[in-house]
Structures are given as C-alpha cells and as structure tokens.
Chain A
Amino acid sequence: MSDPSLTNPWLAADGLSRRYRNGRGVGPVCLTVGPGEVLALVGPNGSGKTTLLRCLATRTSPDSGQLLWFGQDDRAAARSKLAVVFDATAHADELSTRQNLAFFATARKVATELWEPALEAAAVAELGQDPLYRLSYGMRRRVLLAEALVGDPPLLLLDEPTLGLDVSGRQWLAEALRARARLGLATCISTNDTDFVEQVSTRVCFLVDGEAVRDAPLADLLAELGGTREIQLSFRGPAPTALVRAVPGVERAAAAEGGLLILARQREGLIPEILATLGDLDAHLVDLKVRDPGLADCFLKLTGRALHD
C-alpha cells in the first residue's frame, strides 16, 4: 500500500463500539484518519456521529474495540497532539477572548507568538478584550474554533464545526481545514452539513443507526452519481413518496425538509412525468428545484433515506 494515510494512520478505530442503555450509540466501527486527510462523519441526527467523535477525542471510553492514536493506545499521550471542539461553547465567560485563548494555548503548549494571529484569522481579534458573554453565539463559536486551530495540532476533531457560523465564518473555517490538509495534518469532523463537507473533506464515512455504512473518498462517492440529477419538490401537505418512486428513472425518493428529495437518472421527459404523477394526486406543489447531485444524494442513494428529514 502506497498511501501513507493507510499504512500509517494517526487515528485508527477497529471494531469500536459504544452503546448506551437505550441501545443507541455507535459501533462496531472501523475507520482510520491519516496525515493530510479530512475525514467527515456524516449521518442524520441520532446516527452516532457525536458519540463516535467523543470516543475518537478520548472523551468517552468505548465498550469494546481498539482505538489507537498515533499508533498508541495512550489517551494521555494522544491529548498532547489533538485539539477538540464539541458542540457547546463553554468558556470562562467573564474573561476575554485573549484570556481564554491564553489558557487553552498554554495547556496545549502553543508558542505565544501564535496566539494573536489565530485570533486575527478568526476575525475575533478586535473583540479580544471583551468578555465572552458579550459576544454573539457565532462569534463565540469562532473563538472556540480559533482555540482549537491555534498551533496546528496534528489531529483536530470538530463536532458540528459550522454550527452558528455565517458565510464568512464558513469560508474561513473551510480554508483553515484545507490549509491543514496541505500541511499534512489530520482532521475529523462530525456534521450533516454536506455542502461544507464537499468543500473540505477528502473522505466521508456515512453513519446510519450507529453503523458505518460506507467509508470512501469524497471524489469516489460523487463520481458514483454521474448521470443523475437531484430534484427537490416542496408540497403543502404530505409528500406522495411511493408514487414518485414508480416513475421510470427515479432511483431514490425520500421525504425531506417538508417535501420530497428525488435522485433520478437524467433523461428526456423526466420532470413532466413526475409532475404528471403529482397532478393525478392533486398534490399542492409549491416549489421545484433541479440541480447536480451532491453528498446528500449519495446518502439517499446508499440508504434510501434523506439526510435531512
């Protein structure tokens, strides 16, 4: 094997499983993250993304399976090489951005001269003296991400990284993650923001009900959708999913975000046929969008379920 990320993964989970009393959780899962990789854990709510990320981040102990960080089963040693962002924006809220960053950077032994550039890159340096409780949720998320990104930790784990970020925040984060990959650093994100995943990830692991149903390079997943189109229909009322599935060329159809998400082979007359089916039902169509398929359609094709339902 010539791919260094496969021969020498920085993070390797083998048969990892963590289940709660109610049966939810994750596993068994096998995955690796190597240098220069951005692995995205993608799945709907309750699919086990966050539980898996918490295990990978040393926060939660798995019930079974093996986890290796940089080739070692040593959580304490791993923590000196990783940075983690969970969904909560917990800080010392009465203190300033700079004071909070100083603590986290010192704990991770990041050189002082790197602190200020990290705040400037996140566009929070101007607010550096303000107590954090005065900042908006989005700005606090930026601070949180800046605290994790400072010093370029070899392994970065982010849970729902785009939560609360505006357009410029997403662009900044996407560029920061791409820059990390160029530097040969490893990143693992947990999200169902497929647009962001398509911007930054090199590999995607789809999770459904705690199981990894597909783990493949992003390019391979998108290539599998060649010749198909994504059709989004919005209705006032229930979506007639079953009838649409019967239209020739429709590969998958699932209820999603108050409408219907359809993945279909591109051919002449497809849209009119679908609309004719709906016309028979007297369904109240309020919107129709056709676009090139993306990662959400990969998930639909693979599982028959919409990612955002």
Chain B
Amino acid sequence: MTERTEVALGRRQPARAGLLRPRPTQLWQLELRGTLARRRALIIKLAFPLVLVIPLVTTGAPPFFAGMLLTVLIAMVGTVGTGVTVTRARGSGWLDRLAVLPLPAWRVGLELFLAGWLVDCLQATLVVVVIAVAERPDPATLFTTWLMALAALACSGAIGLGIAALTDHAGEAMLYLAVVLAPVLFLSGLFTGVPAEGLRYWVAQVLPFSYLDEGFQLLLGGNPPYGDPLGFLIAAAVFLAVALAATAALGRAILARAA
C-alpha cells in the first residue's frame, strides 16, 4: 500500500514537513527555487562554462582568443538564459498570471531577471575560480574582473529581457539575440581589439563586454591596452546600476506584450 493511499484512508497523517521550510513568497525566490529544483538542467548549466574554460586555461590558449571566447560565453549565458526563459514564460501563460497580480510591472521585470542572474553569476564565478586556480593572477584584477563579469551578465540579461519584449517565440528570440549580440561584441573589440581613438574607442567605453574582455586577457597573462582595476570597479558599478534600471523599466513592456 502506498503512502498516499494510507493517507487517503486516514491511517497516516499527511506529511507536513514542507510547513516548516520557508516557502517562496517573492517571485525571484519562486523562480530561483524552480531553477534549482531542475537538478539535471542545473548541472549541465554549471558544467557548460567549465568545458570551455578548463581547456582554455590548461592548454595555454592565446589570451586574446581565450578572453574573446569567455566574454562571448558570458554574453550568451545572460542573454539566452533570460530571453528564452521569459519568452517561454509568456507562451505558457505564466506572464498572464503574474500580470494580474497586485505587483508593479517593474518589480516583475526585476525579479524575473534577478532569479536568472543569480544562477548566471554562479556560472561566471566558476569560470573565475578556474582561472584563479590555474593562473594565480593579481587578486585586485581577479576581483574587479569577477565584478565586471557579474555586471556584464546583468547587462546581457537586460538585453535578453528587451528581446523577450519583442517576440513570443523562443526560437525567434535566439535569432534576435544573435543579431543584437554580434555587433555589440564587435564594437566591444572582441574580434579586432579596440582602436586607440575615434568613435569605436568611445563606443567600447560604454559597453561592458570590452572591459570584461580586457579583464579576462589580463587574468590569462595578456597585455591589453586599457586594463585598470579602479576604472573596472567604477564601470562595473555603473553597468550594474544601468542594467537593473533597464530591467525594471522593461517589466511593463514584457507584461504588455500579447496582452
């Protein structure tokens, strides 16, 4: 006889263990717990950056290429994770349900983003830890690059949210992401480096991926032209603030689509 049958027959009390555990009362908690509960998907998600970073650091890949690949990885993780998740949430009717709750749209946008960003941060942290162990870099550079990775993830998450406000289909979201990310990464100097002056120089200064690329190159023994820990620190704080403001602002657009 199964436990449930016994409970139904009144022979055993239903399990109330869950009553003792704190329940998710905020959207970001609910979303984060949902992600953590998908164990297999979580393991693959965490293993994904490792299968890229471990070969790069153990085989002594040129810092320019390694930095580029890791920056592309961070950009993809943030945009795809958030963009596809939110697009699917709309398709399943989840956003419909959230939209009629007495929660402000900015908060829904921010909390949807936050849950994904926290897991993304774990992925980025694993990358930085592997580099720290393998390369023993300068702690200040390591710390500021890690912060920049988190800020870049936030910015790419905001881009993902913006794209989720444009389409209802996860496959279409992937195409939009590629179309948006490719020029952004090019302008960040990932493929050709950043020129010392001119418009492209200034454009690169306002893109987090240019800083992150330089940070990774520094950590991996490269010598990029503009590496500066203090500048990284300030830029990371600004990018993070901009990303959070953008996600809050995008909340209304995300909920309004297909309303």
A residues at B contact (CB < 8 Å): 54, 57-61, 76, 79-80, 82, 84, 86-96, 98-100, 102-104, 106-109, 125-129, 131
When distances are taken between beta carbons in the complex, the residues of chain A under 8 Å from B4 are: 126-127
Asked if A95 and B101 make an inter-chain contact with CB atoms under 8 angstroms apart, the answer reads no
Asked if B97 and A86 make an inter-chain contact with CB atoms under 8 angstroms apart, the answer reads yes
When chains A and B are docked, how far (Å) is the Cα of A86 from the Cα of B99?
12
When distances are taken between beta carbons in the complex, the residues of chain A under 8 Å from B97 are: 84, 86, 88, 90, 104
Asked if A95 and B94 make an inter-chain contact with CB atoms under 8 angstroms apart, the answer reads no
Asked if A80 and B102 make an inter-chain contact with CB atoms under 8 angstroms apart, the answer reads yes
When chains A and B are docked, how far (Å) is the Cα of A90 from the Cα of B30?
13
When distances are taken between beta carbons in the complex, the residues of chain A under 8 Å from B139 are: none
Query: Interface segment, B7-15, B118-126, B190-198, B223-231?
Result: B7-15
Among B8, B17, B34, B104, contact of A76 (Cβ-Cβ < 8 Å):
B104
When chains A and B are docked, how far (Å) is the Cα of A87 from the Cα of B37?
26
Known A-B contacts A79-B102, A125-B14; A102 and B96 likewise in contact (beta carbons under 8 Å): no
Among B26, B37, B99, contact of A95 (Cβ-Cβ < 8 Å):
B37
When distances are taken between beta carbons in the complex, the residues of chain B under 8 Å from A100 are: 30
When chains A and B are docked, how far (Å) is the Cα of A59 from the Cα of B97?
9
Among A106, A108, A128, contact of B14 (Cβ-Cβ < 8 Å):
A128
Looking at chain B's contact residues, the main secondary structure is helix
User: Does B24 touch A at the CB level, under 8 Å?
Assistant: yes
Among A57, A86, A98, A131, contact of B23 (Cβ-Cβ < 8 Å):
A98
User: Does B183 touch A at the CB level, under 8 Å?
Assistant: no
Asked if B33 and A95 make an inter-chain contact with CB atoms under 8 angstroms apart, the answer reads yes
User: Does B168 touch A at the CB level, under 8 Å?
Assistant: no
When chains A and B are docked, how far (Å) is the Cα of A76 from the Cα of B99?
10
When chains A and B are docked, how far (Å) is the Cα of A84 from the Cα of B95?
13
When distances are taken between beta carbons in the complex, the residues of chain A under 8 Å from B25 are: 102-103, 106
- How many Cβ-Cβ contacts under 8 Å join chain A to chain B? 93
Closest to A94 in B: B37
When distances are taken between beta carbons in the complex, the residues of chain A under 8 Å from B99 are: 58-59
Min CB gap B109→A, angstroms: 15
Asked if A82 and B23 make an inter-chain contact with CB atoms under 8 angstroms apart, the answer reads no
B residues at A contact (CB < 8 Å): 4, 7-8, 14-15, 17-19, 23-27, 29-31, 33-34, 37-38, 89, 92-94, 96-97, 99-104, 259
When distances are taken between beta carbons in the complex, the residues of chain B under 8 Å from A98 are: 18-19, 23
Asked if B100 and A95 make an inter-chain contact with CB atoms under 8 angstroms apart, the answer reads no
When distances are taken between beta carbons in the complex, the residues of chain A under 8 Å from B30 are: 92, 95, 99-100, 103
Known A-B contacts A94-B38, A128-B18, A129-B18; A76 and B259 likewise in contact (beta carbons under 8 Å): no
Q: Could you write out 11 A-B pairs with CB less than 8 Å apart?
A: A61-B259, A82-B100, A88-B93, A91-B94, A92-B33, A94-B34, A98-B23, A102-B24, A103-B25, A109-B102, A129-B18
When distances are taken between beta carbons in the complex, the residues of chain A under 8 Å from B26 are: 103, 106
Closest to B96 in A: A86
When chains A and B are docked, how far (Å) is the Cα of A106 from the Cα of B14?
23
Asked if B34 and A93 make an inter-chain contact with CB atoms under 8 angstroms apart, the answer reads yes
Among A96, A103, A126, contact of B18 (Cβ-Cβ < 8 Å):
A96
When distances are taken between beta carbons in the complex, the residues of chain B under 8 Å from A60 are: 259
Closest to B101 in A: A107
Min CB gap B197→A, angstroms: 49
Closest to B23 in A: A102
When chains A and B are docked, how far (Å) is the Cα of A127 from the Cα of B25?
20
Known A-B contacts A92-B34, A95-B30, A126-B8; A58 and B100 likewise in contact (beta carbons under 8 Å): yes
